[in-house]
Amino acid sequence: MESRCPRCGGEFHCGIGDASDAGPCACTTLALTPALRAELAARFHGCLCLACLRALAAGEAPAATPSG
């Protein structure tokens, strides 16, 4: 399933609900704290791209939003 990241606006492939993908979505390999997951769920609708999730897992603030 092709998606658009609600944080950066970039397009990405979300594999979490795609039965045709051979394995789990790459996002399942990231460790996000329960507090960060809750904040992201409250702030964004849908999945974020892997680049944004990696940045957030590394401690970057989730406040960025796409322009336009």
What pLDDT shows up at residue 68? 44
- Across 5-26, b (16+ Cβ under 10 Å) vs e yields bbbbeeebebbeeeeeeeeebb
Tokens of 41: 């769920």
Residue 1 — pLDDT band, cuts 50, 70, 90? low
- pLDDT tens string 6-61: 999 999 888 776 666 666 777 888 888 899 989 999 999 888 999 999 999 888 77
Tell me how far CA of residue 4 lies from CA of 1, 10, 19, 21, 26, in angstroms.
Answer: 10, 5, 19, 18, 16
**pTM for this predicted structure:** 0.74
